Homo-oligomer: A and B are copies of this chain.
Amino acid sequence: MLEDLQTPCLLLDEAAMNRNIKGMADRFKQIGVPLRPHLKTAKSIDVARILQDHGADRWTVSTLKEAEYFSSFGLKDILYAVSIVPQKMERIMKLNRAGAQMSICLDSTEMATHLSTMTLDGLKPRVYLEVDVDGHRTGVKADQQRAVDVTRILANASNLEFAGVMAHGGGVSYAANGQQELEAAAEQERTCTLAVKDAILEAGLPCPQVSIGSTPTALFGTSFEGVSDVRAGVYVFQDVFQTNLGMCAMEDVAATVLTSVISHAPHLNRIVVDAGGLALSKDRSCASQSNDCGFGLLSDIDGHVDPLLYVQGVSQEHGYITTRDGSPLPFELYPLGSQLRVLPNHSCMTVAAYEGYHMINGDHEGEWWPRCNRW
């Protein structure tokens, strides 16, 4: 019974998650390009198993802790998609000795040179050159000599395997407005990455793989020609930001925070809950969207969204709910001690506050699935 859980805690709607996973998997089976799911959102072997059941056989992670965790359960072919530094190579090599088949990425001649001179025990890590398609994160651009220079070092290094190019179009796609802009963002991600591949080939160097992806570009891309695999992560849980972006419906938001009403303040038109900044995160990514939802939307305990309410503010352990249109709150519907669920703005950030998921609405109802947090 949800009523018996101590709040705040994290719920995972298995039926919604399975729909999200199946939808993406079916789409890419039809397209004929493999997915390389990003495990940074769920950080759960149980969720990874469901992705496997839908065909996933290669992976993306955002921390070495994730790589070590998933590798310990036998997952292989893992791309650590954050630029590598020398201090982390010992863990990469340990993973490779355990059979993880790690790929890493970088974007500089300095790091390529450094790696190429390291003693790596014959267990050649695969190294991607990261491409900057929209100024969002890290990487080289097609018109930068760096692209060819880095590749030449990697391709000539006897202790490394040059894997190809990779990119994440999370800047332009997350700012897109409507189908046309989303399709354009996806095409920009693909063509900018392929332009770097072309520059590499023109220089007489090889470029085996082309890995791209983000949830919006994966869902809205109209062509994946030339692409070797597609990375996406947040689609597994979705969230209010993705809903605003048109990626999903509100009922597809799979991860929610169960919280208790702890105070009524009629003089402030405010309901206070025990999910604050630590339980929800302070993510305000939807502040840039036309449908700004504060720190999250609300549903009743059964998941029915009340479109009138939102989390207007948070302190460390307090969440402040009011109405979106300024109308008086229906306090009687939300008595003290009753429970609500918060639909998070950005599920990757919110779920990271918890060590695991209370499973609801599926075959594993009542189970608790652990997460692999931190670094």
A positions within 8 Å CB-CB of B: 3, 6-9, 40, 62-64, 82-88, 91, 106-108, 110-111, 114, 132, 135-139, 141, 144, 170, 260-265, 267-268, 272, 274, 277-279, 281-284, 315-318, 335-337, 348-349, 352-355, 374-375
Contacts and interface: CB of A to CB of B under 8 A. Distances in A.
B375 A335 contact: no
Nearest to A62: B317
Nearest to A5: B87
Contact of A7 (B284, B352, B355, B375): B375
Nearest to A135: B268
A85 B141 contact: no
B282 A349 contact: yes
B82 A375 contact: no
Contacts of A336: 85, 108, 110-111, 114
A9 B87 CA distance: 14
A368 to B, nearest CB: 13
A149 to B, nearest CB: 14
Given A40-B317, A108-B263, A337-B85, A137 B272 contact: yes
B263 A138 contact: yes
B272 A40 contact: no
Contacts of A261: 85
B318 A375 contact: no
Given A6-B88, A40-B316, A87-B337, A374 B354 contact: yes
A194 to B, nearest CB: 20
Given A40-B316, A263-B107, A274 B85 contact: yes
Number of this chain's copies in the assembly equals: 2
6 contacts: A6-B375, A82-B317, A83-B272, A85-B337, A110-B336, A138-B272
A356 to B, nearest CB: 10
B87 A6 contact: yes
Contacts of A316: 40, 62, 348-349
Contacts of A348: 316
Contacts of A138: 262-263, 265, 272, 318
B335 A110 contact: yes
Nearest to A348: B316
A298 to B, nearest CB: 17
Contact of A262 (B85, B268, B318): B85
Nearest to A352: B278
A265 B110 CA distance: 13
Nearest to A138: B263
Contacts of A83: 262-263, 272, 274
Nearest to A275: B375
Contacts of A274: 82-83, 85
A315 B137 contact: yes
Contacts of A355: 374
A355 B353 CA distance: 12
A84 B6 CA distance: 12
A62 B318 CA distance: 10
A260 to B, nearest CB: 5
B82 A262 contact: yes
A7 B170 CA distance: 24
Q: Which residue among A106, A141, A316, A337 has the maximum number of chain B CB atoms within 10 Å of its CB?
A: A316
